[in-house]
Amino acid sequence: MAEEYFKKALFIDDKMVETYINLADIYYKENRLWDAIDLLQGAIALVSDNAALRHYLARIYIEDKRYDDAIDALDSVLELAPKNYDANWDLGMVYFELGDYDSAIANFEEVLNYIEDNELIFYPTALAYEANDEIDKAISNLLKSIAVNDKFPLGYKRLGMLFMARGDMEDAKEYYEEYLKFDIPQEEKEQIQNILNRLG
C-alpha cells in the first residue's frame, strides 16, 4: 500500500519533501484533508525553507475553504520564492472568492508579468475588474483573451454582455454574433439570439 510505503520512507528520512507531498496527495484524493494538513504542517516544521510544501498546504487549505490560512501560506511561499507566479494565481483566486477584488487584480496582474499569452489568465483578471466596476479594464482583458485565442467562446460572450451594459450596442451585437458561431447548447443559442433580436 502506497501510504505505508511513504510512511516508512519518512521514518528513514523525515526530510524527504517529495515523499510528504506524495503522501499528502493520497490523503487529498481520499478526502482526508485534516490528515493532509497535519502532515504538511509537521513537514514544514522540519523543512521550513521549502516553498513547495507551503504551496501544497495552501492548496489543501483552499480546498477546505480555510481562506485566511491559505493566504498566510501563500504569502510565505512568495517570501521564499518571489517569482512563483502560481502562488500569485492561487492568491488571486482566493481574494476573488473573498470579494477582495483589488487584491485579486494585483495578483492576477503579477501573473501577467510572466505569462502574456494565456486566455485563462486574462479572463479571470477581466472578471475581477468587472466585479470591481472597472468595465473598461475588464473589456481590455477580454479583448486580450480572444487575441491570444480566437477560439475562446467565453471571451466573446462576456464582451457582448459588457458592451451591452456599457450601452455600446453595435459592439455587443458583433461579439454575440461571434459567440453564436461556437458549438454551444441550443438553449444558450436561443437566449443569445433573443438578446440579438432585442438589440435590433
Number of domains composing the chain: 2
21-31 residues labelled b (16+ CB within 10 A) or e (exposed): bbbbebbbeee
Digit-by-digit pLDDT tens for the chain (200 residues) are 777 756 776 667 677 788 888 889 988 999 999 999 998 999 999 999 999 999 999 999 999 999 999 999 999 999 999 999 999 999 999 999 999 999 999 999 999 999 989 999 999 999 999 999 999 999 999 999 999 999 999 999 999 999 999 999 999 999 999 999 999 999 999 999 999 999 87
User: What was the pLDDT predicted at 167?
Assistant: 93
For residue 119 the three cell numbers come to 486566455
Select from 59, 90, 115 the last residue of a domain.
115
Residue 132 domain boundaries: 121-200
The pTM assigned to this predicted structure is 0.88
User: What was the pLDDT predicted at 9?
Assistant: 65
Select from 115, 144, 166 the last residue of a domain.
115
Q: Verify that 2 and 100 share a domain, yes or no.
A: yes
Select from 46, 81, 115 the last residue of a domain.
115
Q: Each residue of 117-159: pLDDT tens digit?
A: 999 999 999 999 999 999 999 999 999 999 999 999 999 999 9
Q: Verify that 173 and 91 share a domain, yes or no.
A: no
Give CA–CA dist 137/129, Å, rounded.
6
